[in-house]
Structure 1
Amino acid sequence: MTSDLAKTPAAAEPVVPRRKSELTRERLILAAAKVVGRVGYDKASSSRIAEEAGIAAGGLYYHFGTRQALLDELLPSLGEQMVAYVVDHIKHLPWGLEREVASFRAYLEYLADNPEFYRVFSEARVYAPAAYARNFDRTLRDFESALRVQCRKGFLKIGEKDLPLAAHFLTGIRNYVSQMYLDASPPKSVEVGDAVRLYRQLLSGGVFVA
C-alpha cells in the first residue's frame, strides 16, 4: 500500500482561487504531519513545515495565522483520514465479530502505512491538548455507537450499560498495541497478523482457561 500521508494535492490542473487555497491548506497539514512524525511537535518549526510543503514560510501564516493553529488541525484531520480508511475497509461486511476484527486490522494497516499518525496522536496530548480531547471524545462516541448497533443486533454478550466501558477497553487495546510497536527504539514493524489473531481470540473466547 502507498502512504495516505504521502499523497499531496496535484498541482497540474488549473484550480479556482478558493480551491487553490484549500489545496494549500491540505498540503501544509500533510507536510506538518510528516515533520511531526520525524522530529515531534516541539521541533516542527514553521520553516521546516513550509519547506516540506514546498511553499514560502509566509504561506503558513497566511493560511493558519499561527504555527499552533496549524498543529491544532493535525490530529482532527488525520483522525478523519484514518476513520475514512477503516470505514472503507469494513462497510461491506455484516455486523458481528468479523466486522470488529476487520476494523482493528484496518487500523493497524493504516498505522503501518502512516507511522506519522501515531506520533501526531500521542504527542498531541501535550502539544495540542484541545485537539487531543476532541479526537478522544469523538473516537469514544463513534466506538460506542458501533458497539450499540452490535448489541442491538444480538452480537454482544454485554448490555448497553456496559458499552461506554467496553469502548474504553477496545480503544485502549488499539492505543497500547500502537505504542508497543511505534514507541520502541527503534520502532518495530507493525505485526498486523499476530495482533489481529490475538484480538479475535480475546473478543471471541478469551485467553484464560476457565
Structure 2
Amino acid sequence: MEADDRRPVPGGYAKGRIRREDIISAAAVVYGEMGYHGSSLREIGKRAGISHAGLLYHFRTKEALLAAVLERRDAEDAVRERLTVPPGLDVLRHFVALAEHNVRHPGIVELYSRLAAEAIAPDHPAHAYFERHYRDARDSVVQSFRVLAESGELRPGVDPEMAALTFIALMDGLQVQWLTTPTHVDPAGSLRFSLQTLLTVPLFP
C-alpha cells in the first residue's frame, strides 16, 4: 500500500478533513460487508454521500483508502500503545481489554475478519499489514510469557511460544464465533479463563 496514492486535503479546511473521515468510515463498513475485492469506490462514495469525483479527490485508489481504513483500525485498537507496554501481565490484560472493546464495536471484528481471510493471498494489498500485525502480536505475547516464566508467574511446564500461538489463535477464533453466535460466546471471558489456567497469579487482582 503506497501512502503516496493519497492526495492531501488543502491545509486548514475542516470540511475537507471531515469528508475524509466520512469516506474512511463508509469504506470500513463496505470492506467489512463485501471485502476488499468485492467492493468498489463508487459503492463507498454512495455510502459516504459523496460523488465518485469527490471521493477521488481525497483518495485516488481503493488501495490508498484501504491503507487509511487500517490506520484508523490501529488507532482504535490502541495497537501503538500496546507495543510500548513492557512484556508481562499488562500485555495479556491489553488483549483481554481489546476483546471487550471489539464486542462493543462489531464492525471492527467484521472488517478485520473479512480482510484477514482475503489477505492470505500474498498479492493482496493488506497482506503485508496482517503479516506484520500477527508477527508483532506473536512476539509481544511470546515475550510476555517468557517474562512470566522467569518470574514464576507462568505454571511449570508451559511452553511460552506454544502458549502464545495458542492464545492468539483462540482470540481470533472467538471473534469469528462471536460474529456468528454473539449470545453464546464471551470472547473476553474466555480469554480471561484461558490465561488464568496458565498463570500462578491472578490476571486481574
TM score, norm. by length of structure 1 = 0.64
Q: Does 1:123 align with 2:118?
A: no
Cα distance between partner residues in 1 of 2:128 and 2:113: 12
Cα distance between partner residues in 1 of 2:195 and 2:160: 18
- Segments of structure 2 that go 5 or more residues without pairing to the other structure are 1-10, 201-205
TM score, norm. by length of structure 2 = 0.66
SS in 1 for 2:50: coil
Structure 2 vs 1, CA of residues 200 and 164 (structure 1 numbering), >3 Å: closer, same or farther? closer
Does the 8 Å CA contact 2:145/2:154 hold for their aligned counterparts?
A: no
Cα distance between partner residues in 1 of 2:191 and 2:140: 22
Aligned length: 180
Counterpart AA for 1:16: G
Structure 2 vs 1, CA of residues 32 and 82 (structure 1 numbering), >3 Å: closer, same or farther? same
Cα distance between partner residues in 1 of 2:194 and 2:48: 38
Q: Does 1:181 align with 2:178?
A: yes
What are the Cα deviations for residues 159-190 of structure 1, in whole angstroms up to 9, with x where unaligned?
xxx765554332212111111211x2xx4245
Structure 2 vs 1, CA of residues 175 and 66 (structure 1 numbering), >3 Å: closer, same or farther? same
Identical positions, percent: 25
For residue 30 of structure 1, report the CA deviation from its aligned partner.
1.5
Cα distance between partner residues in 1 of 2:114 and 2:188: 27
When the two chains are superposed, the root-mean-square deviation of aligned CA atoms in Å is: 3.7
For residue 25 of structure 1, report the CA deviation from its aligned partner.
2.8
- Segments of structure 1 that go 5 or more residues without pairing to the other structure are 1-14, 206-210
Cα distance between partner residues in 1 of 2:16 and 2:169: 37
SS in 1 for 2:125: helix
1:151 matched residue in structure 2? 146
Does the 8 Å CA contact 1:60/1:66 hold for their aligned counterparts?
A: no
Q: Does 1:77 align with 2:68?
A: no
Identify which of 169, 172, 181 aligns with 2:169: 172
Does the 8 Å CA contact 1:32/1:74 hold for their aligned counterparts?
A: yes
1:16 matched residue in structure 2? 12
For residue 134 of structure 1, report the CA deviation from its aligned partner.
1.9
Structure 2 vs 1, CA of residues 106 and 152 (structure 1 numbering), >3 Å: closer, same or farther? closer
SS in 2 for 1:61: helix
